[in-house]
Structures are given as structure tokens and as C-alpha cells.
């Protein structure tokens, strides 16, 4: 059971971090939040989060610290910059890294923090900003059984489904596999609807068939009706973020020797698309002629 005495820090108050921070606050945690942006800290304050001017303020006296950062390099840098605070902590601190990071980085951080008496969970999430704001994320978690159990109250507050898939790094591997497939499904579903359109079948009717048959995926079932068919393209997940995840998956394949010929083509399509990194990733599914010219 959570109380106002259970202190949680959130580092990174972007589209995902802000939602997680306010969700934790609404569930009775005493939440402190840090972001480089004044406006994001102010938004967090409106949601019941205590805004912090420095990372040191977040690390002081917190039992759990949630990271929502762009890259593995950022995650490692924050940990490195706050080692002294962690060394001086009286109780075990568990860092819950919800960033889509790199398995090897997470393993190294977990080993280093464990040597100091602290825990590190790689716990990337799926569900987008709406899932973060409603506490309905899916979390795929790598780390020790003991740290997962210790962090369970915070994890339960942020997620509708939490899957502990293995030791440190396993959560990152699972997320990269998931996002590689999502990137592929975005392209293949768009191409399937383009084929339907060119052959005289209304794409809306073709999509009904896909979602009632074996061609269905979450991309076809959720993303296309919500953000592609109506040309909204505002899911909240950018081209730049998906490009990063596809690149990380490709690098993981290269390091492990996995031969993924179709994934190589998917990676090429995402890397070479003329769409801007700031564009919504759902634009890669655009299938109508005017929109398809942009891909």
C-alpha cells in the first residue's frame, strides 16, 4: 500500500515522463520531478508533482527513481552524475528506467549499482502518452526478482500489464523486438492498403478484413483507425524515436549474429524516408497517393 511517505523521483518530464509522474502522484506517492524545461516542470506541478531545480534534489531521499530519457547515453550520464548521492543513501534505491535503452548499458548499470547496494530495472514501456497518463502502460522488465518485487507498488501504479521477462537487459531486448515489428507493421499495413486502393477496393473495407483475419496487428487495429485513416498523424511518438529504436534493433542483430533479411529492408526504409524526425511515426503508414509521395 502506498502512502505519502513513499518518495519517488521522476527524471525526464516529456510526453511519457510527465504522464507517469502525474499518475504516480494521483496514486498517493510523494513525487518529485526534474526536467531541463521550465514549462515541463510547471506542468508537472499542476499535476501534483513537486518540481525540482536539480537532479540532486530528485535523488535526495527517494526510494524509487523513474527515468524517462531519450537515449542510453543520457541514462548512464544521469546515474554517473549522481553516484555520490547513491553511495550516501541509507536504504536501497531502485531505479526504474522506462527509456528504450540498450541492453548492454542496462546490464552494466545494474551491476555497478548492485555493487553499491542499489537496484536497476530496465523497464521500457508501450502504450504512448495516453497510457502513461492513465496508468495503463505495458511494461517489459529486466532485473532481479527482488528489485521487481520491491518496486511493485510503483510499477503497478504506472502499468496495466507488467511482464518480468528476465535478468538485466531483457526488458530492453523485448522492447527493441516489439518496436522493430511495429515499424515493419506500419510499413506493410500501409502498403497493403495502397494495394487495395490501386486495385479498386476501398482501404476502409480492406482494413476491416485485416482486423477480422490473420493480417491483424495492433498497428492495423489501433494505430490505423486512430491516426492514419483520418490523416491525424498525431500519436505522440516521433519518426526520430522510431528510427532510433529500429537502429538499435539492427545493431543488436549485428552484435548477436542474427540474420534478419526483411528487417534490414525495414531499417533501410525508416532510415531513408524523407520524413522529418519531428514528424509523427504514423506518417510512415500513409497510403493515399498525395501522402505516400512524402515517404
DSSP for 225-283, please give it: IIIITTS---SS-BHHHHHHHHHHHHHHHHHHT---HHHHHHHHHHHH--S-TTSBGGG
pLDDT, position 4: 55
How many alpha carbons lie under 13 Å from residue 67 in its C-beta half-sphere? Answer: 26
Class of domain 173-292 (CATH, top level) = mainly alpha
CATH superfamily of 7-167: NAD(P)-binding Rossmann-like Domain (3.40.50.720)
What is the per-residue pLDDT for 5? 67
pTM of the model as a whole: 0.92
Tell me 167's DSSP state: S
Location of C-alpha cell 511495429: 182
Q: Which three cell numbers stand for residue 124?
A: 521500457
Residue 1, pLDDT score: 43
Where are the domains positioned within the chain? 7-167, 173-292
Q: Which of 240, 245, 227, 231 is nearest to 177 (CA)?
A: 245
| Phi, psi dihedrals of residue 277, rounded to the nearest 5° | -60, -30
Judge contact between 236 and 163, C-beta under 8 A.
no
- Please give the pLDDT value at position 292: 43
What per-residue confidence (pLDDT) applies to 290?
65
The predicted pLDDT at position 227 comes to 97
**Rounded mean pLDDT for each run of 10 residues along the chain, 295 residues in total:** 74 96 96 97 97 95 96 96 93 96 97 97 95 97 98 96 98 98 98 98 98 98 97 95 97 97 98 98 93 46
User: Distance (Å, rounded) from C-alpha 142 to C-alpha 124?
Assistant: 9
- Quote the cell numbers at residue 154: 510503483
Q: Is 112 exposed, middle or buried, given 0-12, 13-18 or 19+ CB atoms closer than 10 A?
A: middle
The span from the CA of 143 to the CA of 128, in Å, is 23
Amino acid at each position: 500500500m502506498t502512502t505519502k511517505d513513499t518518495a519517488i523521483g521522476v527524471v525526464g518530464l516529456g510526453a511519457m515522463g510527465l504522464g507517469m509522474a502525474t499518475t504516480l502522484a494521483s496514486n498517493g506517492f510523494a513525487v518529485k520531478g526534474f526536467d531541463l524545461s521550465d514549462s515541463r516542470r510547471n506542468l508537472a506541478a499542476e499535476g501534483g508533482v513537486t518540481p525540482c531545480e536539480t537532479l540532486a534534489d530528485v535523488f535526495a531521499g527517494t526510494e524509487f527513481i523513474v527515468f524517462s530519457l531519450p537515449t542510453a547515453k543520457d541514462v548512464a550520464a544521469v546515474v554517473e552524475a549522481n553516484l555520490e548521492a547513491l553511495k550516501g543513501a541509507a536504504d536501497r534505491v531502485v531505479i526504474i528506467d522506462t527509456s528504450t535503452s540498450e541492453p548492454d548499458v542496462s546490464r552494466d548499470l545494474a551491476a555497478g549499482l548492485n555493487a553499491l547496494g542499489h537496484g536497476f530495472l530496465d523497464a521500457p514501456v508501450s502504450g504512448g502518452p495516453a497510457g502513461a497518463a492513465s496508468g495503463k502502460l505495458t511494461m517489459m522488465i529486466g532485473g532481479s526478482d527482488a528489485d521487481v518485487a520491491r518496486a511493485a507498488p510503483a510499477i503497478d501504479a504506472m502499468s496495466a500489464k507488467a511482464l518480468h521477462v528476465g535478468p538485466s537487459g531483457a526488458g530492453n531486448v523485448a522492447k527493441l523486438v516489439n518496436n522493430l515489428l511495429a515499424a515493419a507493421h506500419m510499413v506493410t499495413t500501409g502498403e497493403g492498403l495502397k494495394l487495395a486502393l490501386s486495385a479498386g477496393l476501398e482501404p476502409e473495407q480492406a482494413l476491416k478484413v485485416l482486423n477480422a483475419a490473420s493480417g491483424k496487428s495492433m498497428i492495423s487495429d489501433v494505430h490505423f483507425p486512430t491516426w492514419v485513416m483520418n490523416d491525424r498523424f498525431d500519436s505522440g511518438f516521433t519518426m526520430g524515436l522510431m528510427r532510433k529504436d529500429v537502429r538499435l534493433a539492427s545493431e543488436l542483430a549485428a552484435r548477436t549474429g542474427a540474420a534478419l533479411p526483411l528487417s534490414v529492408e525495414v531499417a533501410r526504409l525508416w532510415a531513408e524516408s524523407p520524413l522529418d524526425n519531428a514528424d509523427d511515426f504514423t506518417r510512415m503508414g500513409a497510403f493515399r497517393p498525395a501522402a505516400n509521395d512524402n515517404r
